[in-house]
């Protein structure tokens, strides 16, 4: 996408107000929102282009917050990730759409979301991410998680669903098929979730909204 085309999509809020409203309503009602094949095509196109442009060597094995032990980490999550820096126009478009959603949520829910960070994740066949929460209560400034899916022609018998559990005791969960354009938003501390193994390569983009954790003039690093 060139600059002229990009300009056509400004201002973003005009395009996304309806969708953003659905997300906010769901967050109020349930604390999560599942939007099936809902991302605008200009955005999935941009994400696919951005993902295509990533060189294999730019993907790194994903780690986990605790346990520095690499083997242990791979037992828990097997994806490879690449952070989105906004160095391409497509990456920038994704970040600005996510920031428009942030502003919208702040305006309606007063969550005080401050920054956003996001990476592509690639799960090779058989890889998974075991049940986890993205933030431990009171231990992190990650408030809201966002995951969007980038798999064209995904067949529901490939596996690879996200399972979103409603609370710590929920054993059943809600399954989300990682189809292109589907995205999920949820409160990071409240919803355990996992990624089931798939028979095919599974691509997603994950992101987190944070509140500002700066104290005593020490700047809180974005990640
Ligand atoms: C994560 C995560 C879910 C997914 O990266 O923390 O839970 O469906 N991803 O890719
Ligand atoms: Mn997660």
pLDDT digits (tens, 9 = 90+) for 134-166: 998 877 789 999 999 999 999 999 999 999 999
Of 154, 189, 206, 223, which is best to mutate to test ligand 1, by the most ligand atoms within 8 angstroms of its C-beta?
206
Position 68 pLDDT exceeds 90: no
Give the count of beta carbons closer than 10 Å to the beta carbon of residue 53. Answer: 12
Q: What angle do CA 212, 218, 223 make, to 5 degrees?
A: 55
CA distance 193 to 8: 37
Q: How much is the pLDDT for 136?
A: 81
pTM: 0.89
Ligand nearest to the CA of 206: 1
CA of 215 to the centre of ligand 2 (A): 26
What is the position in ligand 1's atom list of the atom closest to the CA of 193?
7
Atom of ligand 1 nearest to the CA of 145: 6
Q: Residue 176 pLDDT > 80, yes or no?
A: yes
Instruction: Measure 3 CA to ligand 2 centroid, in angstroms.
Output: 33
Residue located nearest, by CA, to atom 8 of ligand 1: 162
Q: What are the extents of the domains in the chain?
A: 3-65+73-210
Predicted pLDDT of residue 11: 55
Average pLDDT for the chain: 89
Q: Which ligand is nearest to the CA of 176?
A: 1
- Is the minimum distance from the CB of 129 to ligand 1 under 6 angstroms? yes
Residue 191: per-residue pLDDT? 97
pLDDT for 218: 55
Q: Where are the beta strands (DSSP E) in 74-223?
A: 80-83, 115-123, 129-132, 142-149, 162-164, 174-176, 183-187, 193-195, 202-210
Task: Evaluate the omega torsion of the peptide bond into residue 163 and state whether it is cis, within 30 degrees of 0.
Answer: no
Is the distance from the beta carbon of residue 182 to the nearest atom of ligand 1 less than 6 Å?
Answer: no
Most informative mutation of 158, 195, 197, 223 for ligand 1 (most atoms within 8 A of CB):
195
pLDDT band for position 221 (cuts 50, 70, 90):
low
Average pLDDT over residues 169-198: 97
User: Which carries the bigger pLDDT value, residue 137 or residue 91?
Assistant: 91
CATH fold of 3-65+73-210 reads Jelly Rolls (2.60.120)
């Amino acid at each position: 996408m060139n600059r002229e085309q990009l300009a056509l999509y400004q201002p973003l809020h005009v395009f996304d107000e309806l969708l953003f409203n659905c997300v906010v309503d769901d967050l109020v009602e349930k604390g999560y929102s599942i939007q099936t094949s809902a991302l605008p095509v200009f955005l999935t196109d941009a994400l696919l282009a951005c993902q295509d442009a990533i060189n294999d060597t730019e993907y790194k094995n994903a780690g986990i917050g605790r346990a520095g032990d690499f083997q242990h980490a791979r037992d828990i999550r097997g994806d490879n990730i690449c952070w989105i820096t906004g160095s391409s126009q497509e990456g920038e478009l994704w970040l600005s759409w996510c920031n428009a959603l942030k502003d919208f949520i702040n305006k309606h829910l007063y969550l005080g979301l401050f920054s956003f960070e996001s990476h592509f994740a690639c799960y090779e066949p058989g890889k998974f991410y075991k049940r986890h929460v993205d933030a431990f209560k009171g231990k992190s400034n990650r408030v809201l998680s966002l995951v969007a899916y980038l798999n064209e022609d995904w067949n529901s018998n490939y596996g690879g669903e996200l399972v979103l559990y409603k609370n710590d005791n929920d054993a059943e969960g809600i399954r989300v098929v990682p189809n292109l354009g589907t995205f999920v938003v949820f409160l990071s501390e409240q919803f355990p979730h996992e990624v089931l193994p798939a028979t095919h390569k599974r691509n997603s983009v994950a992101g987190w909204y944070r509140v500002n954790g700066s104290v005593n003039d020490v700047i809180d690093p974005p990640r």
